[in-house]
Amino acid sequence: MTAKPKVVVVMPAYNAAKTLHMTYADLPRELVDLVILVDDGSSDETAQIARDMGLELFVHNRNYGYGANQKTCYREALKAGADIVVMVHPDYQYDPTLLPEIVRPIQEDRADAVLGSRLMGTSPMKQGMPWWKYVSNRFLTWAENVTFGLKLSEYHTGYRAFRREVLESVNLETNSDKFIFDQEIMAQMVALGMRITEVPVPTRYFAQASSASFFQSTIYGFSILLLLAKYLMYRWGWGYHRQFDSLQRRYHAGAEPAGRKI
């Protein structure tokens, strides 16, 4: 990228009223061109606070799920002309001041997507990550590295940056509306040969920070194993999976992808 790219921050929000101000205040304004917040049917004042702060706001009429929230985030960011899209959770768990580090590999054309890894540098358990979440993260990351042929330190971070072309190419609308969305888009990027790198980010664990329960994490873990099995079947030619198609071919053919309006 030679010219200054348009950087759009998207915030998938659900009951983030207590932390939204802190998150937004720490964003590097000189780098960020637009902030889009999608409220997924919050029961608190998240939407009103975002409105008062002057953010670009989209509100779901009910809680559709984390994946559905991201679909709206990325759809609206592309409509706004984003060259780089950065997902920042408004719960203040990830450090917004590190956004320049997240986007730099894309700006320098060294990556198509960047993950902010909690597993590089300081131990996340020392930062408050529950031991059972750490152990499951390690196992699932190992399984994904083996399946995808990568050497990432983790796949389960919510701090991510994407080049525009990534979001235009992966078939987002075939993905789940739930937490597994994060891993489905990873599998899609790997299937399309996208360049993925990571940078270290410290993480905060506190009462207001969102965190999946043990039950939710268990379902999430089994869902990842099923996704990896489906990806291997695709790689081995044991079935057709539209989820791993490139939409760029359809754009060039003049057809628009079918999407569900939320």
Residue 47 domain boundaries: 7-252
The predicted pLDDT at position 123 comes to 63
Give every CB contact of residue 191 below 8 A, 6+ residues apart in sequence: 231, 234, 235, 244
The predicted pLDDT at position 132 comes to 67
Task: Report how many domains make up the chain.
Answer: 1
166, 189 contact by CB (below 8 A): yes
Give every CB contact of residue 223 below 8 A, 6+ residues apart in sequence: 176, 178, 179, 180, 183
Is 2 part of any domain? no
Q: How far apart are CA 107 and CA 69, in angstroms?
A: 26
Is 262 part of any domain? no
The predicted pLDDT at position 203 comes to 75
Neighbours of 204 (CB within 10 A): 14
Is 258 part of any domain? no
Q: Token digits for 247? A: 């939409």
The predicted pLDDT at position 262 comes to 30
Looking up residue 38, the CATH number of its domain turns out to be 3.90.550.10
46, 13 contact by CB (below 8 A): yes
The predicted pLDDT at position 197 comes to 98
Is 261 part of any domain? no
Question: If you average pLDDT over residues 143-150, what whole number do you get?
Answer: 97
Is 63 part of any domain? yes
The predicted pLDDT at position 225 comes to 96
Give every CB contact of residue 31 below 8 A, 6+ residues apart in sequence: 7, 99, 100, 103
Query: In terms of pLDDT, which residue wins out, 136 or 259?
Result: 136
Residue 256 confidence (pLDDT) above 70 = no
Measured in degrees and rounded to the nearest 5, phi and psi for residue 163 equal -70, 145
Is 229 part of any domain? yes
Positive or negative CA dihedral for 80, 83, 89, 94?
negative
What are the pLDDT digits (tens) for 34-60?
999 999 999 999 999 999 999 999 999
Q: How far apart are CA 29 and CA 105, in angstroms?
A: 19
% of the chain with per-residue pLDDT over 90 = 72
Among 67, 102, 30, 60, which Cα is nearest to 184's? 67
The predicted pLDDT at position 216 comes to 73
Residue 207 confidence (pLDDT) above 80 = no
Q: How far apart are CA 40 and CA 179, in angstroms?
A: 13
What are the pLDDT digits (tens) for 218-252?
888 899 999 999 999 999 988 778 898 888 654 33
The predicted pLDDT at position 118 comes to 84
For the residues of 170-223, what is the DSSP string, one character each?
S-GGGS-SSTTHHHHHHHHHHHTT--EEEEE--B---TTS----HHHHHHHHHH
Is 25 part of any domain? yes
Is 105 part of any domain? yes
Q: How far apart are CA 24 and CA 210, in angstroms?
A: 16
DSSP E strands: which ranges in the chain? 7-13, 34-39, 56-59, 84-87, 113-117, 160-163, 196-200
Taking all residues of the chain, what is their mean pLDDT, rounded to a whole number?
A: 87
What are the pLDDT digits (tens) for 76-94?
999 999 999 999 999 999 9
